[in-house]
Structure 1
Amino acid sequence: MTTRISSRQASRSTTPHSPVKPLAMLIALAFAGTAAHGQAVAPADAASAAEAGKLQTVTVTAERITEDVKTVPISVSTIGGEALDVLNSGGEDVRALSGRVPSLNIESSFGRAFPRFYIRGYGNTDFHLNASQPVSLIYDDVVQENPILKGFPMFDVNQVEVLAGPQGTLFGRNTPAGVVKFDSVAPSRIANGYFNASYGSFNTVNLEGAYGMPLGPDWAIRGSMLSEHRNGFVTNTAPGAGPGKLEGYDDEAGRLQLLYKPSGTFSALFNVHARALDGTARLFRANIIKPGTNDLVDGFDPYQISIDGKNSQTVDTDGASAKLRWDIGGNNILSSITGWEHVHAASRGDVDGGYGAAYDLPMGPGVIPFADETSDSMNGHEQLSQEFRVEHGGTGPLTWQTGLYLYHEKYKISSFSYDTLFHGPTTEVDATQHNTAWAVFGSVGYALTDKFKLRGGLRYTRDRKYLDTIPVSDTAVNDSAGLSKSTSDSRTNWDLSGTYAVTPDANVYARVATGFRASSIFPASDFGYLTYAKPETTTSYETGVKADLFDRRARVSADVFHYEVKDQQLSAVGGESNATQLINAKKVQGQGFEINLDAYVLPTLLVTLNGSYNFTKIKDPGLTVAPCATCTVTNPKDAAGNVLINGNPLPQAPKYVANVTARYGIPTASGGEYFVYTDWSYRSKVNFFLYESKEFTGKAMTIGGLRAGYDWDGGKYEVAAFARNITNQIRVTGGIDFNNLTGFINDPRTVGVQFKATF
């Protein structure tokens, strides 16, 4: 692994502006106004309450319209309500969703700042700040394209939808693997809100709240805030290390929404949001893997590290959106969605994972061939998107949508390498990237009978990128492939599906769809030349069943799928070549099955069970990558010593994912309830890199949680005690293909207490 590789994984420490503060003031004013202008919360309507022991209907917007999940002809999984509260209780970030639904894996070598999503084993391990991912994240109908934007916290969210790919017809950016979709709670004409507070291990504090109310007959407002804090709990034991501990953070975010609805034919929803993260970068730990195995070394202590470099991370994001809807008559709705996003990010870390070096003793832990400390920062980022869409609905057999999508993004990445032992930056390379795209799309649904409905969609996309590498000062940059690159790609995607109602409570469906991801570019650096990967295309086949059972006391969905990716973009990371390159695999195949089951085993015992099997395989006999420097590679090598990866699974693609939750309630005579909630997620072993090796294979991981408490006054108030990772299972969750057996780990066990009030 090279210094430039590591510079994508850790970037320089700066003190950027904090956009959350002014937004927090606006939200505080909204809360303050409730005393003078808010109205009392409407009492709960007993008739609308869920029947005891029966499942409520789940609605989704997977097809950009609100539908019963049972009628949607694709694999859709949702997370909401108490399940999200539980995941947030210990201050976890979006990575906590990993393994909570079938086929979803999320990991990061940046910690909280830069999550990488995988659906059905299909994702991207690229850690560059201009990385393109085949899983798109959509927050309140606006795509979050840059990987830093994808880390925006979860709070005041209605539900999370995970849509299996391809989703290339109705969504705006890079969706061949699927979409993770967040929908915030919107303002309404009824005043309501909540406050949620928890305190746990390592002085972890999680404060979350929201309040919404009408502002006269035409307007409504809702403010939401999140504040998370954790003390550092990892001690640096390197000789001469300064005071203070690592792995702490302060993460704050806010959202203010304003709804204008003067009539039944027009509405406008305005949204401003921001985030400020200040903490430590991911801790890379040298030689923590026992040679010849994937075990942690004997005596490993997750609460200690020995590094001599600096470690810090800051992220500031802010954005705004406007969603306008007009009823233009004839069962036709015109929508306009305008989005603006901005990112400033900086992170710096000690990528060699230790102290000293072979040429400057003492060193450790183990052998540190040479010191490497790097950083990246993103400046001048701006993302603009605009969508116009017309929907035709009504009670007739024909429904359709058509629209236009526009996208523009620009930014500069500044990359530094530092000589930790002799101080000062040794290299600096800047890279600027511009990306513009536009698309036209349409989708049609027709009910051939009262039981059978066909749907089809078509989208044409044009995508252009330009990247320019700028050496700073006397930096020596490998310009053998040039310093600049432009790409221009266009594709037409389509999908076709059918849904048949076997009974009023059970549907079967089948779907075939295609997807597309535009070209990607890596900038030139002092240790690697400029590389790019041409577009990848995907074709997927899926069939499944969705049903309510036993008078809505149970719900099941299951599917089988097969997909094929041509020219998949892969990141060949590090190894003996000390370079990171973009490559294309001629073909990658994936197949498997998924199942979701929700059931009231008893009227007060709700159990959910979901799982998936994913088998992925690279099919390119001549494709090779550089091997690691010190690990035990198990793949064959060619005459030049490079590793043949034909037949390997995709990186970070677990074969099995499973999740189970159970909630048992004990009602009291006073109207309260004692409850116990437990959740367990399992992920089978994964390869960290494109080659297979004994050391860089992540062990299977099982993470469990437990929560017990009491709620009263119809569930308006709740107190609970909780534990996350209750077995305290520590696993290497990712590796650094550098010059030793360096890796990073998951968080240890946390315990705490929580209070929530709903009003």
Structure 2
Amino acid sequence: MKTNKLQKFAIGAVVSAVALSLHAQESDSEKKLGLEVISVTSQKKVENVQEVPIAISVVNEEMLNIYTSSGDDIRFLNARVPSVVVESSLGRTYPRFFIRGFGNTDFRTNASQPVELVVDEIVQSNPNLKGFPAFDLERIEVLKGPQGTLFGRNTPAGIVKLDTKKPTEDFDGYFKAGVGTFNQLNLEGAVGGALIDGKLSGRLSATSQTRDDYVDNGFTGEDDAIGGYDDVAVRAQLLWTPTSDMKVLFNYHHRDLDGTAAIFYAGAIDEGTQGFSDDFDREEVFQDGENIQTVKQNGGSIRIDYDFDSTTFTSITAIENVTMFSRGDVDGGYGCGFCDTENGPGFVPFSVETSGDNDIEQFTQEFRLASNNWDVFNFQAGFFYFDETIDSEELAYDSVFAPGSIIENVHINQDNTSYGIFGSVTYDIADDLSVIAGARYSSDEKDFSAVGILPVAEGFSDSTDVSKVSWDLTVNYELQDDVMVYGRLAKGFRAPSIQGSTTFITTVDSEELISIEAGIKTTLLDDRIRLNGAIYRFEVTDQQLTAVGGEDNETRLLNADKTLGQGVEVEFEFAATENLLLTAGASYNDTEIQDDDLGVPHCGVPNCTVLDPIISEGIAGINGNSLPQAPKWIGNFTAKYSVPVQNGEFYAITDWAYKSETSLFLYESVEYTAEKALEGGIRIAYRSNSDYEIALYGRNITDEQVVTGALDFNNFAAIVNEPRTFGVEVRMDFY
């Protein structure tokens, strides 16, 4: 990749900044001791997070810059927020979110998730849309528990909400460049300000993340064969204020990714053991197939806000289009044992090389009317419309006898339309007591078809049509200044799903969830401590589960009679001294599938060590199991120490994320239970009071290796987390 000039520029800027910083002297000025107020828009209006009766975790701009310093995608949220897991079996696209143990492991193009990603109040429903790079953001909010009233169906577990920086009349901008391990080059910047005084403002932001291939292919003898990427994204916004009462925000965004699909390592796990084998090397594979991925995404929106003095009308119109091609050597090795050819590493029963060529189009429209800070009563009411079309070709290749030739081609189409009518009211019974009640009526229709092109097959089709009501009721009480307690009862649902191929089709009913939650939010010690906690319990009926892989290598949808979940979450911030800031978070999430008769195919050849009862040949009973990708314990910790000097400050910050053992599939086995993991990062920097920062960073500094995904029907192939990286970064700000 052609990065030498840019790398030299970035390194030169770093050296210059360090030289300047050596002349800084200590300052006599005092810093105000206390925590900053965190503003959120979790209820579609700006509020202090401490006054919102929902379990909300917030990742601020500073931590976003740290988590993404090595080019990490949205999976950086994994275990860095209590109760949150993020993983992908498709690389830098198609992230799957799990909140409180509740998510979906399905990798098919039309799969739905019980956690929605919302960017600037626009739902990014298809998982292929959820991987857009996180840059130039105000913050990320994670709302836990059902959010169906304001954010719609398919949010029974919660939402991940991204808010981008908007145009203002004040000129500002920034540019940052970072270089690191594997010739990593990250460039990011933004500029904004008034274009026509009082009438038109704009903001343009962009990011480019590049990494060279670093994984050798021992089968072909090629060094640095895969693992790299070029990921470029841009966002342009215009804010037009034709009158003092009206604002119109235009948004256009684009992404272009050219990289590597998820890397499967054949024989990464030894039979009967947990974790990687002793000779596992994350920088070498032995693959006889291709591993490529391209993503192109374009989207735009128009938001209109009109202030009627006592109320505000909002209209948000948005379109999204993404095309994604991903091709991978899924078995992770070479050859075919059942074909009586040389194969390995270990024993590769049969060759699996597949691809998906997907085209997704989405249109959404929301109309909303909200009161403007009335006295004791406030409301929101609106209408939402959603339309999505998915066209996908799923292909399988011959990697052994005629490398590159297509042996199967299935065309999948799904049309999904949905609309919702919603309302929410807040009533202040007294100065210290208020009630929030909301409801939403949703209608959802799907039409699905799967037709075989090669070999010729008749295929299958099906459709669903369902209407449901979701609701929530919340009571919050201010015990004293800066101490608020709340209780919340909510119902959410996920619309029916359809999945299939040319040989079978499965359609599952909608799932419904009832959740009860109690929480406390406190600000103590003259705003130096923020301590929030929540305890919850939920019950899901007809939960949609996905049996992935198994001995017959099929992806099938299931409805479980019931799933129970319960847990505790705690978040803590402490301005210990003028120089030391500590944060910590922890969660305990316990989930249990309750269905006496439910079984799923377990691992194929070679056989893994299944811990569940075998209820029939090749079928394991999963009654009593936890949900997949649902660790019981998640913990995170950060510590920042800063030393003021005359023209700025030196600071060091470290962050750590812990996740306990995690089952990767619906059935439990020794091999497919990921080990507990602790990943850490560090950043040492000088930040001037004026316009620049220079930093050294490290991610996964202990080089922790943990299984994040696996293939259970072929040779213990596994996916590994990102490797250790170090680098240097410089940032310039303009005002």
TM range (shorter): over 0.9
Q: Is the 8 A contact 2:529 2:572 kept in 1?
A: yes
Amino acid at match of 1:536: E
1: CA distance, partners of 2:115 / 2:209:
27
Q: Is the 8 A contact 1:387 1:405 kept in 2?
A: yes
Residue of structure 2 in register with 1:407 after alignment: 386
SS at match of 2:66: helix
Residue of structure 2 in register with 1:220 after alignment: 201
When residues 50 and 511 of structure 1 are mapped into structure 2, their CA distance, relative to the original with a 3 A threshold, is: farther
Equivalent runs, 1:413-452 vs 2, <5 Å:
413-423=392-402, 424-452=405-433
Taking only the aligned residue pairs, the percentage that are identical comes to: 44
Higher mean displacement: 456-465 or 72-81: 72-81
Q: State the 1:197 CA deviation.
A: 1.2
Residue of structure 1 in register with 2:509 after alignment: 534
1:486 counterpart = 2:466: no
Q: State the 1:615 CA deviation.
A: 0.2
Q: State the 1:473 CA deviation.
A: 4.2
Q: Is the 8 A contact 2:42 2:143 kept in 1?
A: yes
Amino acid at match of 1:604: N
Residue of structure 2 in register with 1:277 after alignment: 257
2: CA distance, partners of 1:124 / 1:139:
20
1:723 counterpart = 2:702: no
Residue of structure 2 in register with 1:268 after alignment: 248
1:101 is aligned, of 66, 77, 81, to 81
1: CA distance, partners of 2:98 / 2:289:
31
1: CA distance, partners of 2:638 / 2:354:
41
1: CA distance, partners of 2:342 / 2:174:
54
Residue of structure 2 in register with 1:309 after alignment: 289
Residue of structure 1 in register with 2:274 after alignment: 294
Q: State the 1:173 CA deviation.
A: 4.1
Q: Is the 8 A contact 1:427 1:475 kept in 2?
A: no
Q: Is the 8 A contact 2:500 2:556 kept in 1?
A: no
Amino acid at match of 2:324: A
Q: State the 1:733 CA deviation.
A: 1.2
2:130 is aligned, of 150, 162, 176, to 150
1:588 is aligned, of 528, 546, 563, to 563
SS at match of 1:667: strand
1:327 counterpart = 2:334: no
Equivalent runs, 1:599-638 vs 2, <5 Å:
599-629=574-604, 630-638=607-615
Unaligned runs of 5+ in 1: 1-48
Deviations 1:464-496 (A, max 9, x none): 00011121143346x5xxx10000011011100
Higher mean displacement: 198-207 or 56-65: 56-65
1:520 counterpart = 2:497: yes
Residue of structure 1 in register with 2:330 after alignment: 351
1:653 counterpart = 2:639: no
1:574 is aligned, of 521, 542, 549, to 549
1: CA distance, partners of 2:387 / 2:410:
24
SS at match of 1:286: coil
Residue of structure 2 in register with 1:366 after alignment: 346
2: CA distance, partners of 1:50 / 1:574:
60
Residue of structure 1 in register with 2:540 after alignment: 565
Higher mean displacement: 261-270 or 589-598: 261-270
2: CA distance, partners of 1:135 / 1:99:
16
Residue of structure 1 in register with 2:12 after alignment: none
1:673 counterpart = 2:649: yes
SS at match of 2:379: strand
SS at match of 1:357: coil
Q: Is the 8 A contact 1:351 1:372 kept in 2?
A: yes
Amino acid at match of 1:142: I
Deviations 1:208-231 (A, max 9, x none): 101101012211000000000000
Runs of 4 or more above 3 Å deviation: 240-244, 473-477
1: CA distance, partners of 2:386 / 2:114:
17
Residue of structure 2 in register with 1:746 after alignment: 721
Q: State the 1:641 CA deviation.
A: 4.3
2: CA distance, partners of 1:267 / 1:614:
43
Equivalent runs, 1:133-172 vs 2, <5 Å:
133-172=113-152
Higher mean displacement: 340-349 or 63-72: 63-72
Q: State the 1:244 CA deviation.
A: 4.7
Higher mean displacement: 557-566 or 287-296: 287-296
Residue of structure 1 in register with 2:15 after alignment: none
1:705 counterpart = 2:685: no
Amino acid at match of 2:371: H
SS at match of 1:57: coil
1:248 counterpart = 2:228: yes
SS at match of 1:510: strand
1:73 counterpart = 2:37: no
Amino acid at match of 1:705: G
1: CA distance, partners of 2:637 / 2:383:
41
Q: State the 1:243 CA deviation.
A: 5.8
Amino acid at match of 1:401: Q
Residue of structure 2 in register with 1:509 after alignment: 486
SS at match of 2:265: coil
2:106 is aligned, of 96, 113, 126, to 126
When residues 244 and 753 of structure 1 are mapped into structure 2, their CA distance, relative to the original with a 3 A threshold, is: closer
Deviations 1:343-392 (A, max 9, x none): 1000101111101112243211011111111111112x210000000001
1: CA distance, partners of 2:280 / 2:554:
30
Deviations 1:5-38 (A, max 9, x none): xxxxxxxxxxxxxxxxxxxxxxxxxxxxxxxxxx
Deviations 1:142-166 (A, max 9, x none): 1001101000110000000000020
Amino acid at match of 1:201: T
Deviations 1:115-145 (A, max 9, x none): 0000000000000011100000001111001
Structure 1 length-normalised TM: 0.91
1:183 is aligned, of 163, 185, 188, to 163
Q: State the 1:51 CA deviation.
A: 5.9
Residue of structure 2 in register with 1:459 after alignment: 440
Deviations 1:217-259 (A, max 9, x none): 2110000000000001100001x45565210000000000000
SS at match of 1:84: helix
2: CA distance, partners of 1:473 / 1:138:
38
Q: State the 1:202 CA deviation.
A: 0.1
Q: State the 1:573 CA deviation.
A: 1.3
Structure 2 length-normalised TM: 0.94
2: CA distance, partners of 1:504 / 1:51:
25
Q: Is the 8 A contact 1:497 1:512 kept in 2?
A: yes
Residue of structure 2 in register with 1:36 after alignment: none
Q: State the 1:575 CA deviation.
A: 1.1
Q: Is the 8 A contact 1:143 1:172 kept in 2?
A: no
Deviations 1:247-294 (A, max 9, x none): 000000000000011333110111000101101111111111011111
Q: State the 1:328 CA deviation.
A: 2.0
When residues 77 and 149 of structure 1 are mapped into structure 2, their CA distance, relative to the original with a 3 A threshold, is: same
When residues 289 and 649 of structure 1 are mapped into structure 2, their CA distance, relative to the original with a 3 A threshold, is: same
Q: State the 1:394 CA deviation.
A: 2.3
Q: Is the 8 A contact 2:141 2:160 kept in 1?
A: yes
Q: Is the 8 A contact 2:31 2:578 kept in 1?
A: no
2: CA distance, partners of 1:366 / 1:453:
63
Amino acid at match of 2:536: F
1:389 counterpart = 2:335: no
1:597 is aligned, of 547, 572, 586, to 572
Q: Is the 8 A contact 1:148 1:343 kept in 2?
A: yes
RMSD: 1.3
1:52 counterpart = 2:32: yes
Amino acid at match of 1:506: V
Amino acid at match of 2:124: Q
1: CA distance, partners of 2:356 / 2:247:
42
Higher mean displacement: 67-76 or 154-163: 67-76
2:711 is aligned, of 736, 739, 748, to 736
Unaligned runs of 5+ in 2: 1-28
Higher mean displacement: 261-270 or 599-608: 261-270
2: CA distance, partners of 1:231 / 1:60:
38
2: CA distance, partners of 1:444 / 1:364:
62
Q: Is the 8 A contact 1:145 1:173 kept in 2?
A: no
1:202 is aligned, of 177, 182, 187, to 182
